Amino acid sequence: MPNPSRNRLPPGTVSEIAQNIRLCRVDIEALVKNWFGDSGIEGLRRPARDLSSIAPLPDWLAPGELETVQGFKALKRQVEWLAGRLAVKTLVTACLDAGLAPTNVTVACEPQGAPYLPLFPGHCLSITHAGRWAAAAVSLDPALAIGIDIERLSIPGTRAFLDLVFSAREQAALDRSDPLSLPRAWTLKEAYLKYIRRGFHRSLRQVELIDGNLLEHGRPAPVRWTVTPLAPGYLLALVFGARPSPSAEPD
């Protein structure tokens, strides 16, 4: 008799965050408690461990994925990676092909690190994690590119951090009286770098949020964006628009 629990994914929450864009968020702390019985994500500050004994994993990981996660050096990295893959597999089976087994859903990376779905290369994918949360988003419209990022509200406001992330004129425009000003801008900038599929191959300071306008190299970026609360203490940024052409400008 078939096992009804086989290939069943642990719970992830799927929602529509914009037209033709779906998001799945996964509570990493809940996974940790379910799998290890630990007190939460603070229990992840340990070396990597053998995860092959966790019963659900072979039922939803593709061949080779367990070997990948076993190769990480820290338990925190193992669980973050697994939570991201769980979000992706949940999205694909919920939104793109309900008949697919999670074991058949895989993620590959472009040369500069951007993730994509080999079975659905026309549907843009973005993955992020921070602290307690992991999330993935997928575009249901092949013409639509997306980028998402999660950040905690509690970010450093040191001079070194500001100079690393923000241009001088952007720092001057930040509203220091608004506690969301820094995390909103930082989260949005990282989501934009994912939208253009460049990640940290492009400087965060080349992308600016000034007076509510998102700029790249000083010019308005032809995108739409939102920054909304994901959960208490966390923001989620979404950037979306037409698929960008490869930039010929220097980094």
Nearest-angstrom CA–CA distance, 243 and 154: 32
Residue 175: how many CA atoms within 13 Å on its side-chain side?
A: 10
Please check whether residue 249 lies inside any domain of the structure: no
Q: Is residue 169 part of a domain?
A: yes
pTM: 0.89
Is residue 224 assigned to a domain?
yes
Residue 6 lies in a domain: no
Report yes or no on 250 lying in a domain.
no
* Model pLDDT, residue 49: 87
Each residue's pLDDT expressed in tens, for the chain with a length of 251 residues = 333 344 456 678 899 999 999 999 999 998 888 888 766 777 788 889 888 888 788 888 988 999 999 999 999 999 999 999 999 999 999 999 999 999 999 999 998 889 999 999 999 999 999 999 999 999 999 999 999 999 999 877 788 888 888 889 988 888 878 888 889 999 999 999 999 987 666 678 889 998 889 999 889 999 999 999 999 999 999 999 998 775 544 44
CATH for 207: 3.90.470.20
In a domain, 247, yes or no: no
**Structural domain for 204, as ranges:** 148-242
CA distance 39 to 121: 39
Both tokens of 132, joined, read: 């307690």
